[in-house]
Chains A and B, each alone.
Chain A
Amino acid sequence: MVSFIAGLLDATVQAATVLLLAGMGELISERAGVLNLGVEGMMLVGALGGFITTVVTGSHWLGFGVGILLGMVLALVHAFLCITLKSNQVISGVMLTLLGTGLTTFFGSGWVEESISGFPQMTFPLVGQYLVGIPVIGEAFFRSTATDYLALGLLVVVWYFLYHSNLGLEMIAVGEDPEMADTMGVSVFRLRYLAVLIGGGFAGAAGAHLSLAFSQLWVPGMTAGRGWIAVALVIFAQWRPRRMLVGAYLFGLLDALRIRSQSISLTLGPDAPLAGVINPMVEFLMTPQIMGTYPYLATIIVLAYAVIRTKSDQLAVPSALLQSYSRETD
C-alpha cells in the first residue's frame, strides 16, 4: 500500500509538471487578454524541436532552450494575427494547434526511432539527499528531473511577477481594461505581445519537458490533449496562480490514478447494503476513459458555477479576454 501511494505521488508530480508549465503560460497570456488555444500545437513543436536538438547535439539543456524558442515562434504568429491584425483569437489558436500538429507529424515521423539521454532523475539540490528518505513523499518530491523543480520555481516567479511587479500589474490591467491602461501610459500592444510570447515559451517548455524528461522519446501527437487540459486548468483555477498549483496536482493525480485504476478496488463486499447498485457504479466511474472526462467536466462545472454565482464585475475572468484593442485614431 505504501509503495502504491508513493508510486502514485511520483506519477502525480510528473503529470502535474507538464500541466503547470503549459498552464502558467496560458495564464499569463489570458491575464493580458489574449486566449491562446494553440498551446497543444506549441507544445508539440517544442517537444519535437527539443528532441531533435538533443539527438543532434547531445545536450538536453540546449534542447530545452530550443523547445522554448520554437514555442515562442509559433506564439509570435498568434500575437501578430490577434494583436496587430486584430484577428479572432479562437480561430488563430485552433489553427495554430492544427499547424503545430501537422508540422510535427510531417517532419517528426523520421525521428520516432531515435533515443536520447534526456534529463536525469536527481535529488533536489542541497537538501534533497536528506529529504529523499522521507517515507511515501520523499521519492516523489525530492527525486525528480531538473525541469520538475524548475516548474515549481517558475510558479513562484509567475505569482510574484503578476501581483508584485509593475510589469505584471500592468499586464493584468491590459487584460482588464486596455483603454484605461492605454490612458495611463501603458503600451497595450507591447505588453500583450510580451504576454503571448511568454505564454508560447512556457508551452514550448512544457512540450520539451514531455519529450526530454517525462518520456525521453518522440512520438507524433505525444501531448495527447495535455495542451487542452492546460487551457481547462487555467479556467479551473479561475486565473489565479496559487489555485493553479492545486489544480495541476489535482488533474495530475487524476491522470496518475487513471493509469492505475485497474489495480484499485474500491468495491463493497457483496453483503453490504446497496452493493448491487453501488459496485457497478463505482466500477464505471473508475474506468480509465471515464476518469479521463473528469478534468473537462470539473472545469465546465467550475466555470458555470463561477459565472452563475458571481456578479460579473467580481468574476476573475479578465474582462477584456478575447477582445482585440484598437486605439481610436480620430
Chain B
Amino acid sequence: MNVAVTVDAREDSPAWLAYGTPVFTVLAALAVSAIALVVLDVNPVAAYRTMFVETLVTEFGISETLTKAIPLILTGLAVYLPLKAGLFNIGAEGQLVAGALAGTWIGLNVSLPGLALVPLMFVAAAVAGGIWAGIPAYLRAKWDVNEIITSLLLTFVALEIQSYLLRGPMQGGAGNFPQSDRFSEAATIPELFGGVHAGLLAAVCMVIATYVLMTKTRLGFEITFVGSNDEAAQQAGMSKFYVYLLVFVVGGAFAAMGGISEIAGAQGRYRAGFEPGYGFTAIPIALLGRNSAFKVMLAGLFFAVLFVGGSSMEVAFGVPAALVEIIQALVILFLITAEFFKSYRVGIDLKRGPAETPAQPQRGDD
C-alpha cells in the first residue's frame, strides 16, 4: 500500500473558505488554549464565559473593550497600510512608543487650552512616530535595506529610550517609579461617552480615511499596484520610493496616535510598561483584517475583547492573563496554516502496489 499526498495550487479559493477561515482559526485557537486551562484545573467553559460573555454584556466590559480597541485599531492600521504596498512593518511597537513619548512631552511642557493642546499632542506624536518609521522606510526605499529587520531593531531602541526618559528627564510623580507626571486637565483627552475617551473618534476617522485612500483614490491604487508588482508599477511611471516612504511614515503616525491616545485618554500619565505590546498584537490584527481597513477595525475589537476578557478571567479564576498571549499566537499560527489550504488543494491517494508514476515527486515526507 502506498500513500501519495498530492498538493495542487487552487485556481481560486471557494467562498466558504474565505469567510470561514477567520472564524475557524479563532475557534481552533480557543479549543487548544482550553488544554492549558484544564492543566491548571480551571473549567474552560466557565473561563471563556467570563472572558467573552461577561465582557460583552456588562457596561464596564464594553467601555473597557472600546478603550482598549483604540490603540489596537490604530497600530493595526500601522501594519496594514505598509502591508498593502508589500512592506512589513513589525516595528509598530517602537513607533507607538516614540509617538507617545513626544506627545507626552508636549502635554507636560506646553500650556494651552485643551482644545488646542490635545490636537497638538497628537500632531507631535504623529511626527515622532512618522520619523521613527521613516528611518527603515528610507533605508528600504533608497537602498533596499530589509525593512523587517530595521523596524524591529528600532523598536528595542525606542523601548530603551523610553526607559531612559522615564527614569531620567521625564521622571515625575511621587516615589521613584519609572513614570511621568500626571497630565493636567487640558492635556487629557475628554470623555466621549460612558467612560470611553474621544480617541475612539480619531481611530474611527483613521479607519475611514484609510478605507477611502485605499479604495477611492489614485494613490491607493498605486499602493496596491506597487504591492503586487513593484517592477510593473515603476514601468507604469509610479514612484516606488515615494509609495514606500509614504505608507511607512503614515503607518508610523497611526501607531503613534494609538500610543498618545492610550496615555492621554486612558492612563493619565506615562508609565513604563503602560501597554502589553499593542504594537506586536498589531501584526495579527493586520493579518486578520488584511482585506479592508474596516476588517482591521473588527480584528482590533476582537483582540480588545481578548485583552479585557483575559484580565477579568485572571481576577475571577486566578489564571495568568498570559493565556491571552497564547490565544493570540495560536489564532495566527492556525490562520497561516489555513492559508495554505486556501491556496492549495491537498489530495490523498491510497494506491496498492508501487506508485504508477514514480517520477512524480512525493511531497508528503517533506
Contact = CB atoms under 8 A, between A and B. Distances in A.
Interface stretch (A19-27, A51-59, A81-89, A242-250): A81-89
B146 to A, nearest CB: 7
Interface string B135-150: 0000100011110111
Nearest to A81: B336
B332 interface: yes
Nearest to B340: A85
A266 interface: no
Nearest to B163: A289
Interface stretch (B49-57, B188-196, B316-324): B316-324
Interface residues of B, number: 48
A90 B150 contact: no
Contacts of B8: 329
B145 A86 contact: no
A235 B88 CA distance: 18
Interface string B319-357: 110111110111011001101100000000000000000
Nearest to A98: B329
A7 interface: no
A91 interface: yes
B160 interface: yes
B337 A85 contact: yes
Contacts of A161: none
Of listed A101, A296, A327, residue having the most chain B CB within 10 A: A296
B161 A289 contact: yes
Contacts of B320: 105-106, 109
A102 B37 CA distance: 13
B40 to A, nearest CB: 8
A292 to B, nearest CB: 4
B333 A81 contact: yes
B167 A92 contact: no
Interface in B1-51: 8, 36, 39-40
A263 interface: no
A223 to B, nearest CB: 13
Interface string B146-174: 10111011101100110110011000000
Nearest to B158: A293
Contacts of B163: 289, 292
A149 interface: no
Contacts of B329: 95-96, 98-99, 102
B304 interface: no
B175 interface: no
Given A81-B337, A299-B153, A327-B361, A304 B167 contact: no
Contacts of A293: 156-157, 160-161
A235 B164 CA distance: 26
B146 A98 contact: no
Contact of A287 (B40, B164, B340): B164
Of listed A37, A94, A109, A235, residue having the most chain B CB within 10 A: A94
Interface string A101-113: 1110111010000
Given A102-B326, A106-B326, 16 more contacts: A87-B340, A99-B326, A103-B322, A103-B326, A106-B323, A109-B320, A289-B161, A290-B160, A290-B164, A292-B163, A293-B156, A296-B153, A304-B150, A307-B146, A308-B145, A329-B8
29 contacts: A83-B366, A86-B340, A87-B340, A88-B336, A90-B90, A91-B336, A92-B336, A94-B280, A98-B325, A98-B328, A98-B329, A99-B325, A102-B322, A102-B324, A102-B325, A105-B322, A190-B366, A228-B156, A231-B149, A289-B160, A289-B164, A290-B161, A292-B163, A299-B149, A299-B153, A300-B153, A304-B143, A307-B146, A308-B143
